[in-house]
């Protein structure tokens, strides 16, 4: 089907999943994540800025500012590309509402790395990756005079945005029956917070081939396998902190689900949900094989079009209610924030979001050394984990807002026992003064 050209964009309603994020912004926390590409040479910021000028026009729903209406927030297209920012000692520096009011994304350059930080209301990981790929493609074309073919998410940047890319797909795929929201509380990691909101990043680099071999030995996909390793690490950590199993709490992992795999869609807005496998340590110790089965079966029953259409219906029905729609925004914010604080925060120990294998055209791959996906920490829980694979390596980025790398140590211990060769790096390598550990 031929894509229809969109009219010049002035503003967009937030999609269904995006509505919760502005309501839950705090004084020191907002839901921001980062997608970055590391190139073979240092980045020329003048050329990158000219490439960004093109990209912001091509992706108006992502290069946007967050504005406040009487009843809902909305996105407004930005007139000009934001300035390129310098890197700080840690990623995902707090993005305030004032900053989002000017532009809800940042483009950051550090040596050979181009990073884009997105407020989650703009798009999900899939949309963010397409934005970054096209930004890098435009930059490489201008810098090295190469022609990069339109495939693997690279589009013609001179074309106007297609309607399908701007669509909120949630209402279209809402099922006739809604699902319940009931969810038990999970164990939460506590630790001494870092000073001044500093975030510690630890990146584990694992060979894809080795990890896949072991994952297949457990009859699992990479997401299931890595999810199981994280859950095993969480259980070991909880046992270390609280050896009496009677007082231990459920270990739950929120795994992001890309709905584009279940429903036909080419939207660049948010179109993802989650599933939460859990293990209860009070029932005894779990082997990695058992945890893999728990996650696999949970995903098998929940990551289906039918089940997800029920979950979508639950979320969409609320915003369709005319009475809810008429409630002024400050009241809506207070209610959504209260629900999030009461239920949302406690749902899981941490989130694992796997972007999957990043593919780019051959002409581009010779200039791109690696990609990284970094989730911000949750409002109350101090950890989160984003992963992707590029080339022969899986990049697993743990972010944390506490001083001690206790979960990372347990995660590495599980991988080591499995015989995986892991290399680790962090954002503390820049100098002793930033070493908070």
Q: Is 111 in the site for other proteins (CB under 8 A)?
A: yes
Binding of other proteins at residue 156 (CB under 8 A)? Answer: no
Residue 132 DSSP SS3: helix
Q: How far apart are CA 386 and CA 128, in angstroms?
A: 13
CB of residue 208 to other proteins, shortest distance in Å: 16
CA distance 99 to 414: 40
- Site stretch for other proteins (CB under 8 A), options 6-14, 164-172, 219-227, 414-422: 414-422
318 interacts with other proteins by CB under 8 A = no
Which residues from 335-354 bind other proteins, rule CB under 8 A? 342
Alpha-carbon gap, residue 76 to 207, rounded angstroms: 42
Closest CA to 12 of 270, 367, 355, 377: 270
Give ∠ CA 175-180-182 in degrees, rounded to 5: 155
- Contact between 361 and other proteins by CB under 8 A: the answer reads no
CB of 429 to other proteins, least distance (A): 4
102 near other proteins, rule: CB under 8 A: no
- Within 10 A of 20 (CB to CB), how many other CB atoms are there? 19
Q: What are φ and ψ of residue 193, in 5° steps?
A: -65, 150
Cβ 111 to other proteins shortest distance, Å:
6
The dihedral of CA 143, 146, 150, 156: what is its sign?
Answer: positive
CB 358 within 8 A of CB 380: no
- Interaction of residue 40 with other proteins, rule CB under 8 A: no
Cβ proximity to other proteins: between 38 and 76 the closer is: 38
CB nearer to other proteins: give 202 or 223: 202
Q: Is 306 in the site for other proteins (CB under 8 A)?
A: no
167 binds other proteins (CB under 8 A): no
The distance of closest approach from Cβ of residue 20 to other proteins in the complex, given in angstroms and rounded to an integer, is 18
Work out how close the CB of 387 gets to other proteins at its nearest, in angstroms, rounded to a whole number. Answer: 17
Does the CA dihedral 122-189-202-252 come out positive or negative? negative
CB 232 within 8 A of CB 411: no
Can you list the positions of beta strands (E) in 73-189? 73-77, 84-86, 105-110, 113-119
Q: Are 110 and 87 in contact (CB under 8 A)?
A: yes
201 binds other proteins (CB under 8 A): yes
Residue 245 binds to other proteins (criterion: CB under 8 A): no
DSSP-derived letter for residue 284 is -
Query: Rule CB under 8 A: is residue 203 a binding residue for other proteins?
Result: yes
Please select the residue that binds other proteins; options are 175, 207, 361, 430, rule is CB under 8 A.
430
Task: State the nearest-atom distance from the C-beta of 178 to other proteins, in Å.
Answer: 18
Q: Select from 59, 73, 90, 286 the one that contacts other proteins (CB under 8 A).
A: 90
Q: Which stretches of 79-155 are DSSP H helices?
A: 97-102, 125-144
- Choose which of 20, 81, 93, 253 interacts with other proteins (CB under 8 A): 93
User: Total residues contacting other proteins (rule CB under 8 A)?
Assistant: 45
Half-sphere exposure of 98 (CA within 13 A, CB side): 2
Among 144, 198, 218, 263, binds other proteins (CB under 8 A): 198
Binding site for other proteins (CB under 8 A): 86-91, 93-94, 96, 110-111, 182, 190, 196, 198, 200-203, 205, 246-247, 342, 405, 408-409, 412-413, 416, 421-435, 437
């Amino acid at each position: 089907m031929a894509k229809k050209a969109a009219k010049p964009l002035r503003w967009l309603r937030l999609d269904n999943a995006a509505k919760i994020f502005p309501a839950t912004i705090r004084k020191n926390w907002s839901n921001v994540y980062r997608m970055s590409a590391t190139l073979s040479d240092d980045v020329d910021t003048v050329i990158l800025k000219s490439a960004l000028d093109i990209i912001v026009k091509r992706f108006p729903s992502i290069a946007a500012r967050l504005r406040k209406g009487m009843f809902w927030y909305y996105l407004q297209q930005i007139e000009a590309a934001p300035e390129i920012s310098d890197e700080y000692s840690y990623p995902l520096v707090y993005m305030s509402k004032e900053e989002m009011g000017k532009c809800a994304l940042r483009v950051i350059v550090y040596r050979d790395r181009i990073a884009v930080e997105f407020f989650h209301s703009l798009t999900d990981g899939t949309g963010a990756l397409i934005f970054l790929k096209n930004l890098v493609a435009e930059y490489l074309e201008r810098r090295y005079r190469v022609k990069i073919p339109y495939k693997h998410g690279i589009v013609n940047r001179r074309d106007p945005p297609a309607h399908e890319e701007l669509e909120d797909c949630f209402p279209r795929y809402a099922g006739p029956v809604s699902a319940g929201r009931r969810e038990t509380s999970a164990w939460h990691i506590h630790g001494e917070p870092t000073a001044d909101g500093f975030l510690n990043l630890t990146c584990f680099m694992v060979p894809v081939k080795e990890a896949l071999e072991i994952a297949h030995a457990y009859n699992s996909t990479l997401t299931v396998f890595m999810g199981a390793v994280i859950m095993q690490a969480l259980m070991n950590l909880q046992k270390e902190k609280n050896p009496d199993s009677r007082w231990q709490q459920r270990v739950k992992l929120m795994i992001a689900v890309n709905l584009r795999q279940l429903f036909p869609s080419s939207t660049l807005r948010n179109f993802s949900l989650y599933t939460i496998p859990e293990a209860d340590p009070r029932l005894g110790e779990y082997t990695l094989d058992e945890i893999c089965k728990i996650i696999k079966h949970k995903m098998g029953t929940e990551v289906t079009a039918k089940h997800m259409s029920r979950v979508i219906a639950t979320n969409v029905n609320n915003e369709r209610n005319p009475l809810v729609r008429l409630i002024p925004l400050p009241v809506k914010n207070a209610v959504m924030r209260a629900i999030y604080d009461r239920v949302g925060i406690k749902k899981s120990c941490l989130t694992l979001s796997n972007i999957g294998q990043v593919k780019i055209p051959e002409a581009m791959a010779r200039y791109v050394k690696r990609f990284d996906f970094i989730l911000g920490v949750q409002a109350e829980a101090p950890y989160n984990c984003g992963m992707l694979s590029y080339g022969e390596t899986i990049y697993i980025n743990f972010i944390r807002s506490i001083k001690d790398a206790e979960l990372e140590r347990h995660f590495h211990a599980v991988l080591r026992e499995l015989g995986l060769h892991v290399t680790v790096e962090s954002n503390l390598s820049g100098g002793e003064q930033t070493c908070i550990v």
